Amino acid sequence: MNASLAAFLYLVSGVLFILALRGLSSPETARQGNRYGVIGMGIAIVTTLAYQLPAGFFALILVILGIAAGGAIGVWRARTIQMTAMPQLVALFHALVGLAAVFVAASALNAPQAFGLGTPGAMHAGSLFEMALGAAIGAITFTGSIIAFMKLDGRMSGKPILLPSRHAINIGLGVLLAILAVAFMASESHFVFWLIVLVSFALGLLLIIPIGGADMPVVISMLNSYSGWAAAAIGFTLGNLALIITGALVGSSGAILSYVMCKGMNRSFISVILGGFGGETAAPPPSGEAEARPVKQGSPEEAAKILKKAKKVIIVPGYGLAVAQAQHAVREIADVLKKDGVDVKYAIHPVAGRMPGHMNVLLAEANVPYDEVFELKEINPEFAEADVALVIGANDVTNPAAKTDPTSPIYGMPILDVENAKTVLFVKRGMGSGYAGVENELFFRNNTLMLFGDAKKVADSVLRSLE
């Protein structure tokens, strides 16, 4: 295959990637967008293999075996992964992309002539810079994503781990990275290259450890952006147009998504990077009076009676719904209500769950009609007209303290105005705080009825009572 045809096919794959991103922006077109992405990646892989065919039969077999092994693992994980574990899986994907960037940079350094970068000891300065940049971003992405995975998977506390003088340490590591990059460009030293990788590993670790659980959606999109820029930098090193286009698209879309997430939380991107808020347990009040505050506790039968009398119901899904896999039961409740003429809608907060779009995916999996799902700005004015707001585990994103308590760590974050509904049915396992580590004031409102228990079991009981 000649260079012109390869460039054209890479351009075609780039266009398909753009169409994929456009399709993935809406649940209605997500399947088609995913197809575009798969086709585009297939074209890019086949073009790369045909244009840069490995020298020798054994090398080609290794490439094919690598693709087969990776593809088999990918298919297996896609078929077995639980929707609740999707954020962890995405974090691991980002880690692998970052590590791949480090390995490709190391390969280019060891065999520059194979990549058209010159000869050992006489490599192009621009290539050395791209190599250092790609390896550094990739290494930061790798360790940062591993920490994000461990926090999301419960293998590490979701509370911020605040190291003393962490900002000074991070700035020092950043300056050291710049010095090492200059030294690497001047010396082409393998030792300096691996120092860059090691320092970047440490920086990725230190950047993500102070970020609390409530900021995890931003971290996921931020690491997505990092992985894209790492791929783009390595694409310049290899002179691979498809990798440059793909990396730039992923990097820019991840950056935009991070901005959207931060805006949805009324947070600045810098404040998240410098150590966010969030934990697993709220700090106990000094006198213990908060634990003694009374709440109204109801039963599924009571909830069913309230829902039967309603004319308009807004359902608010959260991470509790995802953990219990209650989306199908909740959709069945909605179907029963709609048969009785009840107006049913779903309200999605931009950062509900543990990653962007988490709730949208769960509802789509349960075949909830797309035209019944609304974002925060669209649905908020309607809560005042709703007879019932049915909240399933959406803790932080419904907490009125975000509007009323300047001392709260979530103060200023836009929330779903569920407290304006005539009745709030709140399904939750217990009185524990949300992922941000703060108690939800909504529990103690006069119009709130708490339904304690596993979300799926509670939803099944409500459904039986309705039927």
What are phi and psi for residue 105, nearest 5 degrees? Answer: -60, -40
To the query of whether residue 396 is one of the catalytic residues in this protein, the response is yes
Q: Judge whether 277 and 160 are in contact, CB under 8 Å.
A: yes
- Eight-state DSSP code of residue 282: P
Q: Which position among 153, 215, 371, 396 bears the catalytic label?
A: 396
Q: How many DSSP H helices and E strands does the chain contain? A: 17, 8
CA dihedral 416, 346, 391, 388 (to 10 degrees): 90
Strand-pair partners of 423: 388
Q: What is the largest CA-CA distance in the chain?
A: 80
C-alpha to C-alpha distance for 383 and 388, rounded to whole angstroms:
8
Q: Judge whether 363 and 346 are in contact, CB under 8 Å.
A: yes
How does strand 312-317 pair with strand 373-375?
unpaired
C-alpha to C-alpha distance for 19 and 409, rounded to whole angstroms:
39
Q: Judge whether 390 and 334 are in contact, CB under 8 Å.
A: no
Strand (E) or helix (H) holding 347: strand 343-348
Q: Burial, 96: exposed, middle or buried (Cβ in 10 Å; 0-12, 13-18, 19+)?
A: middle
Residues acting as catalytic residues: 396
